[in-house]
Amino acid sequence: MAVTIDSRELFNSLSTKITQLSYGRAKNDRSVINSTLDELNSFNYKYPIVANPTKAVLLVNQCCSLIPPEDDELVLKCCQLITNLITRQKVVIDGRTLTVTVLWCLQALKDQDSSTDLLVALDALLRANAGHELITEIVKNSTLLNLAKNEQKPELAFFALQCLEACTIPADDTKTLPPDELKNEFQTSFEIFLKHTVKNHFKLDKLISAKIYIVCLRGLQNVIKQKPDLLSDNLGIILGVVKSYMLLGISGIEFVKPQKLMPSPLSVPETSTTESRGKGGKMTKQRKPKTQPTIMKTRKSEKWDDDTGGYTPAVTMNTDESVPNFGNSVKTSDSDFSDTEGGNLAKLNVMNGRVRQAALGLFLHTIKLTHKTVIFSYWSSFIPENPLSTKHNLMTCILKETSNRGSMAALNALLVLLSLSKVYLAQAEKGENLAFTPFSVVLGLTIKELHKCLSLALSAHSIPVLTMVLKCFAALVQATPYHRLAPGLITKLIRNVKPLVSHKDSTVQVAALIVLGCVLASEPIIPESREAFLKTNEPETPWLLHRCLANLEQDNVPTPVKLESLQIISVMSRNYFEDLVAPYLDHVTKALDLSLASKYTDVQLHAGRAVDFIGQAMSRCAAPCLHFWHSLLQGSLTSLLQTEQPVLRAIGCDCLGSIGAEAFEQLPRDKQILCVTLLFTSSRDEENAVKGAAVRALAICVLYPSLREDSGFVVDTAERIYSVLGDENFAVRVKCSWALGNLSDALVLNKGSALLVDEFPKSLILKLLKGTIKASSDGDKIKMNTVRALGNLLQLIDESLIGEREFRDAVQEGIGILVKNCTSGSNMKVRWNSCYAIGNAMKNSFLFSLQNNWQERVFNSLSDLVVNFRNFKVRINAALALSSPQKREFYGRFYQPVWVSLIKGLETSENVADFNEYKHRDNLVEQICLTLGHLMTLLTKEDLAFIKDGVNSDYLNIQMKRVWEKLLPEKSTVLFDAQNYVTSLKNNPDLSDGQKNTLDCLHNILKQDL
């Protein structure tokens, strides 16, 4: 310690000595500077020497001011000092001092005789100050660029390239791209880096060549991250460089000079923006559709569950951060290796490994920065079709890489590539001895090869590598359409992964469970997966369920393993409930009861979610469930609703909402009262998540027969929903709007009971109606639910209510809101729900007694949508709404225009501008034909003259015949009714010849070809 203190004091004294020298120094000042620098460089900088960093910065500034750039000896010594201060003492040199020092170093450079110490100091200065402030000074310095391009002195070229690479390192604020003014500087740097990797000049000294490759590959990575245009313009050659250098030095793989890769002319489908739908009230996040450029600035790590219905791991295992940081230094100390031939070979092997890692780092960023459609066109260049394919691929990299870091880098690149390629790999299928190999079969072969490769890679001894292999396997499972491929892949996969769920390392256990969770979530289900999971050596339970239950029942199992085990049980209940869960429900109940009472919040949370999923599954499968709910309601589940953590109270409400009507009716009365009381209490919770979950659960319960017929419960639920509908929190309003839709369904069902109608206050109906109208001007996620509720509430308006002015005004406003929402806005779900709601409203015959122009707005709007709108689901619901009026007089003068619009809509159904709408075309044609059938059942002989032109359409005849052929029996009633009605109308003796001809045409259209 005394030595260190003395060194600090001496350093401080020597620094003062130099900083006190004046700029116009005496003749002997040079010798003073020389000797002082010698003393300063004699310190052992491994230990802390600098007590005052500010003084050290002043020292550097003074040295650069006093020492002429042409004084080689002093420049060399000053550079050694600068390097030690920055790299070993972590002195930060920035601002004006940085600029002065860098410019001084650049002035001291000489084309041929530059010292490596000078370039090392310049590199240290630039590398410690990531950003692009000084890149202009570096690139415009012809001496430095000449050194970087110098093929005669590769060592100098290496150090010069390091300086160039250092000034391309992105700033800490990665969201800020460099200004366009620096485009030329980055272009110049990019060309120099690319030239050295493509031309492969340095063949004499392999070690220095490897160092140059590392620097250039990192430089390319830096540049493409900041100037994406350079990547898009040079994508083929960059991928060619990656393909060559990611295998450099691997035993048995000959180096191939980089060549530009060409994209395969493959037919890949464009991804479309589809509407994601979750279960009621739990909104799936929707992103606004936007045009994506070929190159994107950044892309966050792909989630493993980025397709709806996929497996969501309980434990998040980040992809990027799991790869070790390879650092910036490419130096390897000579003292680390002996001077023997073996020592040199070991040094070269280390450097070649770092080249491979740098190439894979470049590959990873290239994948992330390139649109997935573009990057997938190079799929076959990196993923082999069979074992006989060229060895220059990513699979060879994974299986033959000798370093853990290299393996991790290769696996990480594969993981991101798989995550981005899911939509395209869905086309894969097995071959059928065809004369040529279609693209889909090629994909199937590559998927099979990937399964084989990753199975071999499971033999890795390194825990991080093994974990990464399993993560790749999980991504591969999510991307593989097993039902389209030859059987056997799933069976082998499960057989290979099964031992790892009992691995000694908990991280590996979690990763293995995630893979199996992805298999469980894979749809459609194939027989071999069910067989593989049902195989058991245990006397009672299937092996995977047995393992998960054991994990939950043992105290010494790490929490992440418990969480993933609960997640496995949740996903089992979705696709394999009757096979893997229902027969063993007693064991599952015991484990969940234990987990709900855990001291760890995360375990309680995931146990609650598992209960929620199992509850939903039991409702779907009508499984015996009384014991399950009775056991949980004895203590653990009710305790969850009374805990301090809001997230647990919210999940407790979700669990109560998933009990289901059948189970609820079987519960003892005290348990029913307990559930209802807990939910009403939670609906007044101060925490938004709890309040929203409770209101949603109440809205599920209000549809249970016993509670729906309990007028007190219905009124109380309606009051709570009304009060929460105006909540400040948007997420709460979203759930409440969904709850309002359910409540309105219950009220419509109760409409048939005069007693229940009388017991529901009219004032509350008016409050709900006004609240719903107001909420229908809120955000789209709320509108899509409130318009549904509005359509139902308008059905409740009877003759007595419509006579009151407030109700009439509310009805007028409500219909206006529905028309507005079905004819405007970019959210298609809002528009088709509004059409559907209008149809529900028009089922109420009392609305037609209003003397106003609402019918004109409604019929004209719906007719226009049926004919012209681009979204077919909106058109389908508009056509459905047009079939709602049950009497001819309700159509009034709009009967004929509606008929004409439906005929035109049938004809324009052939015009499919967006291919994604094609799948809805048959449903649109069917609904238009059914609506026409409904109109025919209301036909009067006076209408025949107006519709005669439309009924002569051959197209109508053809489409009606097709609908007859495909129509389900339960839907065909309206066409049979139309057929009978037209036949009876033909018997009218007062018909004119023209009217008879029209009826004959209608009869032919409706005639069923048996």
Segment 130-172, tens digit of pLDDT: 777 788 889 988 899 999 988 888 899 999 999 999 999 988 7
Long-range contacts of 27-33 (CB under 8 A, 24+ apart): 29/66, 30/71, 30/74, 33/63, 33/66, 33/67, 33/74
Q: Where does a domain end: 129, 153, 182?
A: 129
Strand-pair partners of 295: 370
- Please state the φ and ψ torsions of residue 149, each to the nearest 5 degrees: -90, -5
Q: Supply the angle between the helices 585-596 and 559-575 in degrees, to the nearest 10.
A: 140
Q: Using 50, 70 and 90 to split pLDDT, how confident is the model at 852?
A: confident
**Burial (CB count within 10 angstroms: exposed 0-12, middle 13-18, buried 19+), residue 810:** buried
pLDDT at 696: 97
pLDDT at 173: 61
For residue 923, is it within any domain?
A: yes
Q: Using 50, 70 and 90 to split pLDDT, how confident is the model at 320?
A: very low
DSSP 203: -
Please answer whether residues 581 and 572 qualify as being in contact, where contact means their C-beta atoms are separated by less than 8 angstroms: yes
Q: Where does a domain end: 129, 157, 176?
A: 129
Assess whether pLDDT exceeds 60 at residue 915: yes
Mean pLDDT of the chain: 88
Assess whether pLDDT exceeds 60 at residue 662: yes
| Domain containing residue 56 | 1-129
What average pLDDT does range 658-670 have in this prediction? Answer: 92
Whole-model pTM? 0.84
CA of residue 332 relative to chain centroid, distance: 41
**Burial (CB count within 10 angstroms: exposed 0-12, middle 13-18, buried 19+), residue 294:** middle
pLDDT at 341: 57
pLDDT at 272: 43
Assess whether pLDDT exceeds 80 at residue 281: no
DSSP letter for each residue of 118-158: HHHHHHHHHHTS-SSSSHHHHHT-HHHHHHHH-SS-HHHHH
**Strand, helix or coil at 370?**
strand
For residue 866, is it within any domain?
A: no
In total, how many domains does the chain have?
2
pLDDT at 25: 57
pLDDT over 70 for what percent of the chain?
89
For residue 886, is it within any domain?
A: no
DSSP letter for each residue of 495-519: HHHGGGGG-SSHHHHHHHHHHHHHH
CA atoms of 63 and 76, how far apart (whole Å)? 12
Q: Which of 601, 599, 593, 598 is CA-nearest to residue 633? A: 593
For residue 226, is it within any domain?
A: no
Assess whether pLDDT exceeds 70 at residue 848: yes
Please answer whether residues 458 and 500 qualify as being in contact, where contact means their C-beta atoms are separated by less than 8 angstroms: yes
Q: Supply the angle between the helices 601-621 and 585-596 in degrees, to the nearest 10.
A: 150
Assess whether pLDDT exceeds 50 at residue 96: yes
For residue 564, is it within any domain?
A: no
pLDDT at 318: 59
Structure token pair of residue 275: 């509407």
CA atoms of 499 and 555, how far apart (whole Å)? 21
Assess whether pLDDT exceeds 50 at residue 513: yes
DSSP 995: H
Assess whether pLDDT exceeds 90 at residue 577: yes
pLDDT at 438: 86
What average pLDDT does range 778-789 have in this prediction? Answer: 95
Q: Which of 64-68, 178-182, 441-445, 490-494 has the lowest mean pLDDT?
A: 178-182
pLDDT at 108: 94
Assess whether pLDDT exceeds 50 at residue 971: yes
What pLDDT, in 10s, does the model give residues 26-51? 667 889 999 999 999 999 999 999 99
CA atoms of 777 and 786, how far apart (whole Å)? 9
What average pLDDT does range 655-682 have in this prediction? Answer: 94
Strand-pair partners of 370: 295
Element holding 50 (H helix, E strand)? none
Structure token pair of residue 604: 């309680």
Assess whether pLDDT exceeds 60 at residue 280: no
Identify which of 260-269, 299-308, 519-528, 752-761 has the greatest average pLDDT: 519-528
DSSP 484: G
For residue 906, is it within any domain?
A: yes
Assess whether pLDDT exceeds 60 at residue 304: no
What average pLDDT does range 781-791 have in this prediction? Answer: 96
pLDDT at 521: 95
CA atoms of 43 and 695, how far apart (whole Å)? 72
What average pLDDT does range 83-91 have in this prediction? Answer: 96
Q: Using 50, 70 and 90 to split pLDDT, how confident is the model at 285?
A: very low
pLDDT at 342: 62
For residue 186, is it within any domain?
A: no
Q: Using 50, 70 and 90 to split pLDDT, how confident is the model at 1?
A: very low
What average pLDDT does range 544-558 have in this prediction? Answer: 95
Assess whether pLDDT exceeds 80 at residue 722: yes
CA of residue 532 relative to chain centroid, distance: 29
pLDDT at 150: 84
Structure token pair of residue 292: 């994506």
Q: Where does a domain end: 68, 96, 129?
A: 129
Please answer whether residues 550 and 509 qualify as being in contact, where contact means their C-beta atoms are separated by less than 8 angstroms: no
Q: Which residues have a Cβ under 8 Å from the Cβ of 143 and sit 6 or more positions away?
A: 106, 109, 110, 111, 114
Q: Supply the angle between the helices 72-87 and 116-127 in degrees, to the nearest 10.
A: 40
pLDDT at 625: 82
Please answer whether residues 773 and 811 qualify as being in contact, where contact means their C-beta atoms are separated by less than 8 angstroms: no
Assess whether pLDDT exceeds 50 at residue 288: no
What pLDDT, in 10s, does the model give residues 606-629? 999 999 999 999 988 766 788 999
Assess whether pLDDT exceeds 70 at residue 824: yes
pLDDT at 621: 79
Structure token pair of residue 212: 């140059």
pLDDT at 695: 97
pLDDT at 297: 37
Q: Using 50, 70 and 90 to split pLDDT, how confident is the model at 856?
A: very high
For residue 10, is it within any domain?
A: yes
CA atoms of 672 and 935, how far apart (whole Å)? 47
Assess whether pLDDT exceeds 50 at residue 898: yes
pLDDT over 90 for what percent of the chain?
68
